[in-house]
Structure formats: structure tokens, C-alpha cells
Structure 1
Amino acid sequence: FNPDQQLTLSIDTLWDISGNQATELEINFTWNPPFEADSSDILFNEILPDPTPLVGLPEAEYIELFNRSDSVINLQGYTFINSAVAVVLADLLFEPDSYLILCDEDDTSFFQPYGLVLGLSVWPALVNSGDSLTLINPSGEIIDLLVYDDSWYRDAEKEEGGWSLERINPVWPCEIDNNWSASENSLGGTPGQVNSIFNDAIDSIGPEITALSIISDQSVQISLSETPENLFITVQQITIPELDLIGVEFGESLTDELILHFSEPLAEDQEYLIWLENVQDCWGNTSNDTLSFNSGFFAKPDQVLINELMVDPSPQQLLPEAEFIELYNITDHSFNIRNWQIDNSGIRKDIPDFELAPYGYAILCREQDTSLFFGFGKTIGMPSWSGLVNTQDSLALINEKGEIISRVAYKNTWYKNDVKKDGGWSLERIDPNKKCHGIVNWMASENSSGGTPGKENSVKGIEIENEILLWQAYLPDTNILVTSFSGEPDTLTILNSEYQTILELGLTLQKITIEDNRFDLHFYTDTNPIENTIYQFKIKGIKTCDQTETAEQSIDFGISIQADKKEIIINEILFDPFSGASDFVEVMNTSAHFINLKNWRIIKSDGFETIEESLFSEEHLIIAPGELLVFSRAPEELPVLYPISTNINNLKSLSGLPNFNNDRGTIIIRNNQLKTIDSLVYSDDMHFSLLDDLDGVSLERIIPSGDTKDPLNWTSAAESVGFATPGSPNSQLFKTAATGRVYLEPELFTPDNDGYHDQLHINYHLASGGWMGNIKIYSDKGIEIRRLINNDWLGSEGSKAWDGTNNEGEKVPVGIYIVYFEVFNAQGEKQLFKQPCVLGAKL
């Protein structure tokens, strides 16, 4: 037969079962081959990949087909493919504009009440999260292809199961994923009938701009109401009058998002108008849309800060036992930190899209810890997290352009608290408005919870102590000068500072190294330094990190020489400190040249072998001619314990300083070649014999050039200086005066608190150390009215003051008074001084 040919069927002889003969039969007909579906004649119209938990439908998977053609289709020979499993369909007439439910053969009876059902003897299970479904006609042509994804539900609750995915419009010409959604039928689906979300409305509106977000100062992202037909959008189709658009690209995963790139940065807080023209959708509609937007503000360095760190949450205090990083916006502008990153020692992790409010906080933590911090403030769960090292680590906040917005290189010394550094307490920035990023601006939280995530730091307002002090200059190599400073500087002012050397060497700054509360400047010298020559380095113009001006500073330096014996001497030792305090040892450079104490050792010995030892320094440590250096495990205690006599500039921390015996012992100093330079055998018998309490009293060397091992060259520090002189000249240092003397100034004083001659100063200069004294004030009648000191331990020189009051604190009358000054020592020697003075008054 030929298609559409008119034919006639004739029957001449035909009997029924009763023997009746039929008359002549004839029928006209037209022959056509069986209808074979073409592309999209049959559609996958609804699927239930996850029937559990049951909502209202049978708890079984199904696929609904829709015949949208105007022909009956016999499905015999059609093939259904689920991923790699293919099933040939059975003989079944599929009426036009009707639905067919495919399911497992065992589930057929469950779905028969809903409509026409075709059970498959082999049912390839549907994957809940997403799968690929294909229908092929007998000629091998694809009728429909569906690659679904569970994101199509657009409803997190329904995505968990029991609800079908339904096609919205069976004649939709556009991207398939926008044409599916979760069923809205109360049973969970509509097998065998019109879908609950069916909508065959025709789109007559072109693509429109629905949203805009600023990615960086040179790129923005716009969201469109629908996907363009042509995925190649030119710069001619998008216009921003004030900007030069140089590129357009689609977002990484969404074809309705466009990223626009500009040749120059957006101006801050500027209104812009964007035009979208001649962009066509899949229905053939073209765009003609505009959107105005404000560029807002872009964070500059130090406007968003790493403000608090929980690097060691165990043992837990009251906060969640989880690491966190707190960010703080110090400005009155909001910042979107989309595409920003946290850099942890070179490992960068992306920060999710987040709008950081003016003066707002954000808590960064592991994604799984997010719920732990919800009660503390805005929280950003990081899908990928690089753990924070407890002892020290380096963190940086990086913006979308790769610029560093905030940087912190913390150490556990920043806690400034030995208990809190062991865990459970956060590190907090003290003053976010000061550009100080080192130890001077950080300390352990003082909040009883252990930290303050999401709110103002507990340590805010504590005064920052940051003074730039030039404390060392040395020549580690020919033509290299290194100058060391304490404090945290503003590095820009270093580059603009003025520096020079007396005895000109010609300096070129090569590099700056900064670590904790110290920084070094490395210079190249044009001229070779000369041995045994003292140079002086001067610098001015440096500011601290909080922009405090620093006065001009200078320091002597020269080529370091290998020390000979007795060129570094033990000058003072505290071996029996106050309870809870630390020992100290003071050394002195008696030579005329600079000496480097790097890798020198201080040793505690029993006279035969080493018991404890420690390096003075693993780094360069220069001691100048005549300079004193004091080493202690806790040098910060000394100015508190000895406020009168401590020179803080000469104090050095030495955590490994040996613990010296309180009664007797041996101290040895060896150079970097292990040669003994000085040694002291000490005992408490070397103290002044009339002292009852030796706690906190140091032993001082009397004559620097004398023998260290001579007990007579040592004695107790004077009471007048507080019993120790760490970093300062010894109170018992031998002076060249041959005889002692006492002198008063002024001889006429007027104690009326007017700031002029309010006190009588009794100055003494004794021939040697080791004296005790009494000072009494007598009236001209010989009556004792005031005792200033009574058997006090004196230095070789000093001063006492009388304010014109008696022993009861009452002011004495105007008149002549006698100062009686008696001194004596352990050898029984005694001296007596008597001098008159006048206590006057203004008329």
C-alpha cells in the first residue's frame, strides 16, 4: 500500500455460524502506517524519585508521560532509559492529550485508581538527588530527555521526600530547569492528571534586570528575569554611560546572571544607570530595561579588621568549644565581603557572600559550628576551614582583588597571661582605631566567658604602651649595619625618616624586619668601619603605629671584638629575691670596645661541674664600653620592686636564667668559644653583717677592676637605693674621694610648699662603701626634735631630706637647728658630722 491511497475492501461470500449467507459487503478506507512519535510529542511530565516519607500518594516511585500530540501512539517498541538501564515498553495505545503512569510492575495496582498505568517488569530506580531519563522511539530517535536535579524542588522541606517534581508548561521552549518545581497538590503529586502547577501562559516580556550586586570596584553582577536565548552577550547590549564596559560573562552556574567588567574603578557612593538592550529570550522577546544603583563603598586596608581570635578553645570557659575569627567594620559604611578570603599561612579559604554592617561584627567559624554561635551575633559558616595553630600563626583578610585588608601574625606571648595562654580564652584587639597590629595592641580577653564574639572587645579602652626606643646597633658583617628598636612603628615613616652616622659611613636602607614588639633596620655602609672606633647612629622622624611622634634618638656602635678575661664582669647579683620574685645577674663591659654576647653562656656550678646553664642570647646582643646589662626571668618585676634605682633600658629577659641558691654558689660566664671570662663564688656571708633580712638584697661589686673572687670586693646594696641597683651604677661603687664629707643645701630653707627651698637636703659623700648611719635634728637648745634615719645601711654617697617637721609630723618654729650625722661600719670605725642650718619663713 501507498500512504494516503484510497482503497476498497469487498467480501463476496460470507456465512455466520448459523449458516446465513451475507450479501455482498464493501467498505472504502485510506491506509497510513502506525503513528511514530517525533521529538517532544511525548514528554516526561512528572516524577516521584523519593516517595518517603509518605504524604498522600502510594509509597512508590513513578514517572508520568504526557502525549501532547494529536495522535494515538502505540508504545510497543519504544525504549525507556534511566541512566544505563534500558527497558522496552509493551504494546499500549497512548491517546492524544492524555497521561500515562510508568511504575514498577509490582506497584501497578497502587496507581490504577489515578489513571492509565504501564508496569515495567524491570524498574530502574530513580536517584533522589538527580538522574537522567530518556525516551526513544522505535527508529532510535530521542523523543524526550530529562536530566533532573533535586534543586528543582525549590523547597527544602519537600526535597526531603514524599513530593513529586512537576513540569509547569508542556510547551515551554526554554531552559528545562526553570520549567519544573515541587508539586503543590496536598497528596504530594498529580499522577495521571493535569499538574498542580500547570501554566501554559505565553511569555511576551523580554529579559529584565531583577537584581544587582557589586563584586568589586571594577565589576558588578546583574540577575535577569530569564535566561537569554543567545548565551553570547556583547558590550553593545549593556550600557552604563559613565563607565567603559570591557567584558561580559555569565556566572559560574546560573545562566540568568551576568558579570560586567569595567576598565576603571567605580566611584564611591555614586549613582549609576545601567541599560539592557536587544537581549532576546527563548520566546523571541527582546529586552529594553534599566536599573539604577549606588556603588556604595569599598573597604580599604584596616577598615575591616581581624578583631578577635579563639585559637585554642580548650579547656572551655563559657563560650562554645570551637575556633572562631571575629571581623569588625570600623566605618559607618557597609561592605559586601563576597569573594573575600581568609589566608592562614598561605592557605586561602573563601568567605561566603555576606554584608558587613557599619560598625558591625561577623563571626567566622567552621560551617558545622555555625549554630553554636547564633546567639552571639552574625555568623558566617566557612565550608572549608584551616585550623588555627595555638602557639603562633599568620592570618590575613584578602579582598576580591587580592589586596590585604587586615593582617595578624599572632603568638601565644600576646596573651600576656600565662594561665590564659593555655586555652579557653580569646585574643582581643585592644584599640581597633589604632593601626597597631602587633603585640602592643593585643591581649587575652578579660570577659569571664573567655571572649566576646560578636560584640565590643572586653579590653577596649586599655591604654596601649608603645614607645619607639633605639636600643642596639651592631655590625654583623663588613658594610652592614643593623639597628634594633623596641615598639611597633608606622613603617611608612621609617621610609621617610632621617638617619645618619657621626664619622660618616654613608647609609642605604636595605630592608625592614618586624617581629612582635621589635623591628630592625638593615643598612648598607658605603665606607668600611674601622676597628676600635666608636661611631654614633642618629635617627629622627619615626612615628609609632598610632602616629605618635618619636624624638631624635642616637646610639653608639662599633666593630665587635672578641672579649678577653675580665672585660665582661659580674657586677651585681640577686640570689635571694623576695618571695615569688626572680633572681637577676648584672654584667658590665669594662673594655674600650663593643662586645657581642651572642651565644655566650651563664652557668650555675657547684664548683666542680655545671648544674644549669643558659645562653645570654641566640641573636646579636651588643654591650657597649662601660654598659651594664641585667638578665632576669622576669625583668618587668624589677622597676616595681626597685623603683628608685632600676634602669629599665638595661633590662633583658632571660627565661633560662639559672635558679641560684639562696645561701652560696658559683656563677661562671663563658664566651661563644666556651672560654671562661669571669666567675664568682658567692655566699650570704658577703652581705653587710648588721642586716637582719637579706631577702631582696643584692650583692654589689665595689671595685670593677678588683678581683671578682675577693669577698671584700662585694657588699650589700644600700638601703637608700632600695637594696638593689639593677641596670644602674652600684650604690657601693668605690669613689676616689679620700675622706668623707657632709654638706647641706640650702643652709636656709623655708618649708612653706611654694616649690622653692621647701626642704633641707643632707648630702653625704663617704670614702668607701659599707657604712651605716644615724641622722638626728637638734634645736639650738640641744633637744632632739627629729630622727631622720636610724642605723640605716648607706651607700658611698647619697642624700636625705628634712621637711621641717618633728617626729610627730608637726612643723617646728623658725630658728637655728643642728644636723647630727653619725656613720659607722662593721670594723668599728665611726665618723661624726655636725652642721647648723636655718629654718626660715617669708615675711
Structure 2
Amino acid sequence: MKPLFLILSFFVPISAQIIFTEIMYDLPGTDSPNEFVEIFNSSEIDSVHLAGWTIVDRSSSDVLVDSGFGLSIPPLAYALILEGDYNFSSGAYLDIIPTETILIKVDDSSIGNGLSNSDSLFLYDSSGVLIDSLGWTDVSPDGFSLERVRLHFPNESFNWIPSLDSLGTPGVINSVYPENIDGALVESSLSLSPAIIENGGTSTIIGRVVNEGLENFEGQIQISDNLNIISTEFLEILSELDTTSFEMEIGPFGFGEHGLSVSLLITDDSNLINNIDSINLGVRYETQLFRINEFYPKPTSEEPEFIEFIYFGEDSININNWELKDSRDNTNYRFPEKMIGPNEYFIVADDSSFLTLVPDSVPYIVPIGGFPSLNNSDDNIRLLDPFGTVIDSLSYDADFGYATGISTEKIFMDSLSHLSNNWRQSSAEIGKTPGYLNAVTPFEIDGTLISGLVFNPLYPEENQPFSVMVSVLNSGILPFLGALTISHFDDDLSEMSFNSGALGDTTFVEMNLPGFTSGSHQLTIDLFLPGDDNLDDNSWVDTLKVQYRFKTVSLNEFMALPNNDQSEFVEFIVSQDLNMKDWQFSDNQKSPVPIPDRMVYENNFVVLLSDSVMLNAVNPNAHIFVYEEGFPSLNNSGDAIYIYDMTGAIIDSLIYDQTWDIASEFSTEKLRAEFESNLKSNWIIAESENGHSAGEQNSQMLKDIDGALIQSLLSHSPQFPERSDSTRINIWIKNNGVQPFSGNVFIENDDDELGESSFSTISPGDTLMLQITVPPMSSGIHFLQIFLDVLDDTYWGNDGITDTILVSFPFGALKINEFLSLRDSNYFEFVELVSDTNLNILGWGLSDISGKVMTFPNLNLNKGDYFILSGDSAFLDLMTDIDAVQISETNFPNLNNGTDGIYVLDMTGKILDSLIYDESWPIIENRSTEKFHISYPSNSSKSWGVAVNESGMTPGAKNSLAFETLPEDGSINFSPNPFSPDGDGYDDILNMEYDLPFENSTLRIEIFDMTGR
């Protein structure tokens, strides 16, 4: 390789008109005297005279001398500087140099010190000014000059290249001087994306164009395929040495290798050599264009392995560079050039031993690089086109039917190669048929049912009509008219006649069938064909899977937080008889776990246990499946449960989270099995003693019909009715069951019906408020029984509630009759009450003005009975009938000495009697204040007086001041009168008897002694 060409550039005056244009520095053999330097006067008007000019290389300097042609160079003219001993009459350039060229010699026999492969030249004018300079390395072949390409371009390395002509172009335009118009495709710039495409596909061709001429041009790119123009594109105007790129989508293309020609079309282009380039596009051949028809993987020891192919294309094809592979990829078993015609066999063998067995018309190929040894047990056979496309392939094993010395033949030459049922062991006498029709050719008439019905839909719903697609292969040579029947047990469900296709064609017969019940059903398909030579493949049994309705099984209970004596479990209830074969369940990971194959029946419980810990705690009548491993663990905070039928359809599911009713050691039960499983309001924590009800009815299950009276919402108005008031009872009824109902409500008191009302239908989960008015009731506490009557109510425990109505007593039903409020430490405050009627005083009370209430016990009082209340138990010592005394040392209202009040309250809080006393009332220390008559108003001081009996009080007895009626006339009697208070025990005391028609009066009594004083 020659060293790189290097141009050394030196300072040149701007006014210089003379330039170097060509150097001949190396010729074959000796260079002398044939070295030359060509210079050019670039001025268009001025001649340049070279007298006194010198040329210098790196070693010496030479003066330019007149050799008989003068030293003046006309405008736009060339001059040659030759060695001093060059012979004009016989020199190497005698027939090359034009006559008008100015020939100049140097003043000795060599230019400088002789031009070398790596040298420099400098041209000076007579004043010693450097006019031009040039440096180079050896880039030109011997005998070829170094030429300047463009005279108007800088004197740089890219602008100097070797001449195209031997001996160069002295005195004339350089051989490398550009054409005026010269467009070129940039060398090696063409590419395809992609370089290999599918049949019928397109690609993009990419390239670059350069203007190698002197003038601007515009043109177009033309792409041809086998001389057919397939695409053109116009280019923008391109200036000198500028480049532009193009991208053109081309196609579509048929399979094979396409040599694409790219042409640059430019008007008046002087150089067409660089206007054309080409590139190859690969288009993959169609798969199955060749098909494997026979192979021989297990020959006898004397025989070669072989593979037979059939070509199914319409035009002859060259298989050059096609490749055969086995299971290995690092092989290179390629075919030589060989033309294969339509429908033609060709044999590829390990060697030529079988050549005599093959007809002369059948191509026989031994691949370049050898034959892939086929394994006896199993291997792959692959045919690849030149672009690596697998055209046909198979992976064989013992199912393909080969044996030692016997080939495997395809039954149908145009069938798919990879299906083992398309192949049979050769039945030929010699065990093989290379180049001939396979011995396992079909029967003349032979219809074959292809296994596997295609159901539409794949899994019909229950009772949904559906269709099946039956595939019938014509395995025989002749087409036929046949009939199909589909039966279920002995019932024919559908029959259809059809016409077959040609040999190897599959006919798809769609048949409509009625709906089936959910589950798996065996269908028998029979093919009836007159004259069928092979009945072995005329019948087939397939399984129809009809998906179950959603909630055919219903999730009913699950346990996510068991204790050590419990297991995680899932329970569901079956709504119809079914077989659990191929059923599954999962958690939210949806990795289904099989449910064991078992027949279950309507309303059966099925319990899936995570282990056997609580096996004995499950009702043995249930279907119990224990998973010692593989049970999908139920997360504590949230998870999901899915039940799948044999079709994979979700039959029931739920997704729970931390908001659901889930508790440790207790299962979560559904209120009703038929309720929606994924609604948390339909689930509740179990109430059974062992924390679950696995395998049996849920402890919290809602009844079919269950009406309930809601005790907590019961109310009545008014709250405390008077004896004359009717009472409105507000009764709330809830439907706790799953069916709507209507009914009646009854109200009773001591078996006496007080009211009744009917109500219209209440939907499940709804409530209804019913208002019943009961008539006035007597004063006291009344316990009303309220009953709900609903037809077929399955739970009576919530059909009755009670209401307690307190009917207030009339004012004066219990009256204040005596009280002691002013006392010393030897006496006790008390209040005496008297009943005006028979009554029970439970819940009644006594209060003073402070509001402090002393509550009465459960005590029955008859009319006229006394009832005494005190705050000191010592008071009982004064009483003979202690049953009528209520003592409360903490709650008795302390009676103030000066002013206070006394209030008697019935059980409703109603004031039945009251008084407010002050200093004006008849109140004396240690003596009670008594009412003159029980009927007198308690709050009038005139109704009261100070007790006059010896003890100063009469609790529990008739008041000392009491009277039945006031006398109409008054009288006063004294006895004895006169009396003698002298202490002799005789008439010492004066007794006064009076009857006064007043409750209170003041008597003036005058007592005189014996002298009248």
C-alpha cells in the first residue's frame, strides 16, 4: 500500500496568476529526463513573463530558461517546466504536448535536485516573491502524474490526485479535471431498510448524490428492478461538490433476490460511469413453498439418509444457496445451483448411493458442506431459503412411524409437515419411495373426522342453543357427498349433508344443536359416506361443557382468622345436583386449586378445609374436602374467594377487606345463601358456640318470612296520658326475611284487646311505622302486649313487644295530712300522706322545694290508708304499723324550719298534692302541723293547725284536730266553774269544752278570783 498523499500548503501572494497544475515526479525505470512541472496562467487578460523566475525543491534551486519558446505565458495558457536535458525531438511527451504549449527548461539537467516520491516545489518570481508552492507524498503509480483537479479551488491535498492517463496530460487540461456537468452516486452509500422483507412487503432505499462537475444541476433518481422502473424521485438543485441524500420507499416485491439498479439521471451529464449503482434486496419465500414429503432417518448400515421435497410454486426456481438444517444451528449445508420445476420432487441425500433408485428427471442433491445427520430417536428437519426463512420444518419422534430401513412418508403431500398424523411408515416393498409417489397414498374414497369439535360459543350457557363446527378431511382421492349426525346417547340431535373438497381439503360443517343442562355431556359424531374405503376414522366422541349459572353454588361461610383448634375454610351450598369434576376455587391470586371429583346434590353443603384440625367439628353430613397443602391462604385484612366451574367460569365470588365483619376465632356467615356474595352487608359474624356453623345452617341465617317488631323504636303519645286521654302507639315493623309479607298488629292489656291494625306488603329489609290508637285507661301502670301476626312467619321470637304506659292520677289521689318541720334533736321530721283511693305507689315520690325526690316503694294503699315518710329510722319506734312508713336517711327532703314546700308526685312526675309553708303557718317546735280535714286544700294555711294531743303529733292515726263536719252553732262550756286552783286536788283544773263553726278561731277567756278580780 502506498503512503497517504499529503499536500503542504504555503503562503501565496494574492496577485499571483501562475499556479502549479501537474507534477510528473516518478516514471517507470529512470525518471530523467522526463520529469516535468506544469504551470498555468489563470489570468483571462494578462500574459505573465517568467524571466528571472526560479523553481526550488527541498534541496536546490533552478532558474527558468528560454528553450526557444519564450518565457511569456499568454492568458489561460499552459507552460511546461522540463529538465534541462529533455530532448524535444525524441522525448517521452513528443506526441502528447500541444504545439501551443510554452516549453521552459531549468538551467541544469534536473528540476531542483530531481523530483522524488516525497518532495516540495516553490515557484518564485524575479523579485523573489513566492508565487506558488506544493508538497506531496507518493500517491501516484509509476508513470502517472499528480494532477490538480480544480484550478479555481485552493491548493490543498483534496484537490490533487493521480492522473487517469499514463504519462499524464502535459500542456492540456488535466485528465482529472471535472466535467462541466457530472453528477455521481456516492460510492458505497446505498443501503436498504430493511434489507430482507416479507413477500409483498416494501423497503426503503437510501443513498447519496454528489455534484462532481463544475456547474449546478438538477436531476432525478430512478430505481429499476430487472429493467422495470419501480420508483423515481426528483432531486433539488445541487451546487459544485455539494451532496444530498435520498430515501425512497419501494415495493411491494415478490419473493426471491431482487437486484435493484439505481440510476442518476441528469441532462447533459458528461460522465455516466458514476451515475449507476446497484444493491440486492432479499424477499423471503413463502412458507410451505417447498414441503417435506419423505425422510429416512434410520437407514441400514449400507444406505444413506435422505429427505424428499416437493415444490409447490408456479414457476421454476433456483435453489442455489438454500440450506438444510437439523436441530443444530451451527451448520452450513447449502444447496448448489439447481432449477426445480413446479410440482417437482427433489432429493437431498447424504451421498449419491441412491441415485439409481431415483428417476432421472428428479434432481438429486448432495449439499455443499455435507448432510445433517438425522438422529434415530428424534430430531428436526428444516429447509431455509437464502434469507434464513424456515420454509418447511418438522420435529419428529417415534410417533412419525419410521423404522430401520423404512422411511417415513407424508400421507398428503400438501399437508402440514409438523403434524405427526400426516405421516406414516412407508408401505413400499423396499421401504422407501424417493422420487416417486408415496406408497401411503390415500384411498379413493375416504372421509376422515378430524378430532375436536369447535363449539360456538365455546361454553354455552344452560339451555342456550349453540352450534358446532365439524371438520371433515377428504383423505381420499375423490370428492364425496356425505352426511353427519350428532347424537347424545341414543338421541339424534342434528343431521347435515355436505359436499367434500378435493383430496386433502377440510370441509367445515356447521350444525345447530339445542340447549343442554349445565354440566359435561358426551356427544357422538358419525360420518356416513357411501363407498368409504376406510371406516376407522368415521366416528368421534367429544365432550360438550355447558357452563353453570352464576350462583349455582353460593358462597355461604368462610373463616379467615382461625385459632389453633380451627382451620381456614370455605363453605358453599349447591342449588342443584352436579358433579364437581374439574371445578376449582382460588383466592385473589386467581391460581385455581382443584375441587375433588364428587357428585353433590341440591342443598348440599360443601366445606373446603385448609387442614384436618377441625375435621371433626364439621357436620359429617356435608361434603368435606381437606387440603393438607395447596389451600389458598385467606389473608386477615382482605382477600377474595372465587369458585369456578369446569369451564373456568366464575360461579360465585367475593372480595372482602378490613371493613367486613371478620373476627378472630369466628367465621363470617352469609345471611342467606342466595344473597349476593360480594356485598358486605349480606355477611355477619357467626354466633354459634364453637365460632362457626361449617356444614350446616348458619347461626345468623335470615328466614324466608320473618316479620319483626322493633322494641327500640316503639313510642306512644302523649307520654303520660291522663285518664281521659286516648294514646297513640307508634309501632315499627321490619321485614327480616327474604320474602315480602303483609299482616296485622294487635295490642292487648291483660288479655283485653285494645287495638288492631293491618298493613300492606313490606319488602325484604324494609321497615314500616304503624300507628294504633288505644282508648283511655285508668290511672296507673299499664303493660301493653303488642303482637305481630304474619302468615307463615318462620320465627316468632321477634313477633311480640311490650309497652309500658303510665296514666297519671288525678290531683288529690294522695294527700298531705300532717307534717313536722320544726323540731329539736329528740324529734324527727316526717310527712304523713293519706290515700284518697286504692292505688299502688311504686315510683311515686316526695319532694321539697329543692327538687330532691324521695321515691316510694312498691306498696299498695287502700282508700284512707296512712303513709308516713321520714329521714330517720328511729322514727319507726313511734309507729305501730311500720309497713306504712318509708324511711330514707339520704333522700328524705329536709324540711326547713321557716319556709319550704312539700310536693307529692305520682309515677309520671305529676304533682298530686303540694303546699308551701312559711312563718305565718301554724308551726310550733316539736309539734306537728295537722290538717283539719283531709279534703281541705293543702296549700292554705287555714287548713292546718298545731296538733293538740299530748304527744304533739298523730303519725299513722287520726289527726288530733280532725273533725268530720263543723257544727252549725257554737258553744263553750267550762267545768267545774267555779274552780279552785289551790292545789288541794279538788277542782284544781278548769276544763273547757267547745264546739265552734270555725276551723280557726280566737277565744278570749277571763278568769276571776273570788274577790272579782
Is TM more than 0.5 here?
Answer: no
TM-score by length of 2: 0.28
Instruction: Point out the structure with max Rg over C-alpha.
Output: 2
Q: Determine which structure has the larger helix proportion and give its number.
A: 1
TM-score between both structures, scaled by the size of structure 1:
0.32
